[in-house]
Amino acid sequence: MTDDTTLAEESVGTASDEDGPERPVEAADSEELDRLVAEHDFVLAEFYTKGCALCQAIEPVLGNVARATDATVVTVNPGEDLDLVDRFDVRSVPTLLLFEDGDLVDRMAEG
């Protein structure tokens, strides 16, 4: 029998789920984003900032993408790791980046 913590963790999903977690994963920094991109075939990364109304508005959509596809959905605040801003040329938020097999294949910036 497992304890409540283990059951809760299993229902949320983790970044190491084989087909991607069932909900978006928060990446704390560029190292964590790099690890997730390397571990998963498809990664959709949303670059957001706190207080961004458009970012908040698309959160339910990102949750649906995480549940409905094999893509790992990652959210990352580039203000907490400014290297990400330069590296991925983030000029506005939200910015969405799609990675396939570790390579950046598409981007959308609507902020």
What would the pLDDT profile of 51-95 be if each residue is shown by its tens digit?
A: 999 999 999 999 999 999 999 999 999 999 999 999 999 999 999
Contact between 67 and 22 under an 8 Å Cβ cutoff? The reply is yes
Q: Which of 43, 55, 65, 84 is catalytic?
A: 55
The structure tokens listed for 18 are 């084989």
Furthest-apart CA pair in the chain: how many Å?
A: 49
Q: Which of 30, 32, 39, 52 is catalytic?
A: 52
103 included as an active-site residue = no
Distances (CA, A) of 40 to 62, 66, 75, 77: 17, 13, 15, 20
74 included as an active-site residue = no
Contact between 21 and 14 under an 8 Å Cβ cutoff? The reply is yes
16-30, 32-46, 55-69, 73-87, range with the lowest pLDDT: 16-30
Contact between 37 and 99 under an 8 Å Cβ cutoff? The reply is yes
Q: Residue 6 — very low, low, confident or very high, per pLDDT cuts 50/70/90?
A: very low
